[in-house]
Amino acid sequence: MTERKETPIGIVLFLTFIVLIDVVFLYYLGNIVMANGDFTTFLTFSQSNLLMWFDVLLVVLSLIIIPYGFLKRKIFARFFAMVFLVYLVIRILVYISMSGEKNIGYLFFALFILTLLYLFTTSVKNYFSNMTMAIIPVDVPKEYTYGLYTLYTELVHLKNEKNQIIYFFSKKTPKSGTPTTLPEGYHVEVSERSGMPYLKKDPSAFPTPS
């Protein structure tokens, strides 16, 4: 039986940050388009527009791939997030060099670097490597013992060409046979002559056909 682990708070904060960054960027892009006064200029073919189209495509993909992939613990989402954050670091450095705005630029630069480093932490690696499933331990049947004796089972080939499963007790590890649990429909009795335990069928478990 398995169950999904809860999403760690660090992952939730990371996804919130990514969504906020994407929203801020789309808002910033919208203001640039509106400032031009004509939306059709955004559709014209130019080097600056190509870069802007690529930015929009990457942001839209990040809004889909990263939240979905992280919640589903898809490893490709982690690598996509790394590429996305590296691209944001490059873009913010370009923005700083072109605009000269260092205060806000360096603030975002630091946030992007810290967020990128978070993806390399052990907690994030474990989050994806465990694939979402926690195995709930179950009781494993143990071998049956009677005093100093352990119950063994073995498949033997009879002279009539048939195979039969036999059960026997032994104090020491036998040359053949596998430790087993007490089979259903049997109980233990002890031989008066040898003192050895042996299995006997329960009459109620194996009724004689009429």
Residue 163 domain flag: yes
Q: Round to whole Å and give the CA distance between 87 and 54.
A: 11
Domain-terminating residue out of 106, 135, 164? 135
- pLDDT of 35: 66
Radius of gyration, alpha carbons of the chain: 35
Residue 49 domain flag: yes
Q: Are residues 154 and 125 in the same domain?
A: no
Q: Are residues 104 and 166 in the same domain?
A: no
Q: What does pTM read for this prediction?
A: 0.56
- pLDDT of 78: 95
At residue 160, what are phi and psi to the nearest 5 degrees?
-85, 15
Residue 173 domain flag: yes
Q: Are residues 17 and 48 in the same domain?
A: yes
**3-state helix/strand/coil string of the chain:** CEEECCCCHHHHHHHHHHHHHHHHHHHHHHHHHHHHCCCHHHHCCCHHHHHHHHHHHHHHHHHHHHHHHHHCCCHHHHHHHHHHHHHHHHHHHHHHHHHCCCHHHHHHHHHHHHHHHHCCCHHHHHHHHCCCEEECCCCCCCCCEECCEEEEEEEEECCCCCEEEEEEEECCCCCCCEECCCCCCEEEEECCCCCCEEEEECCCCCCCCC
Residue 210 domain flag: no
* Torsional sign, CA 202, 205, 208, 210: positive
Query: For 175-198, how does the pLDDT look when each residue is reduced to its tens digit (9 = 90+)?
Result: 889 999 999 889 999 998 888 999
Q: Are residues 52 and 101 in the same domain?
A: yes
Q: Are residues 10 and 113 in the same domain?
A: yes
Q: Round to whole Å and give the CA distance between 141 and 182.
A: 10
pLDDT along the chain (210 residues), means of 10: 66 94 84 64 70 87 95 94 95 88 89 95 87 52 88 89 90 91 91 91 65
Q: Are residues 53 and 79 in the same domain?
A: yes
Q: Are residues 149 and 105 in the same domain?
A: no
Domain-terminating residue out of 135, 167, 189? 135
Q: Are residues 93 and 20 in the same domain?
A: yes
Q: Are residues 168 and 122 in the same domain?
A: no
Domain count, the chain: 2
Q: Are residues 119 and 174 in the same domain?
A: no
Q: Are residues 150 and 173 in the same domain?
A: yes
Q: Are residues 128 and 150 in the same domain?
A: no
Cβ neighbour number for residue 33 with a 10 Å cutoff? 13
Residue 114 domain flag: yes
Angle at 118 between CA 121 and CA 71, to 5 degrees: 90
What is the domain range of residue 170?
145-201
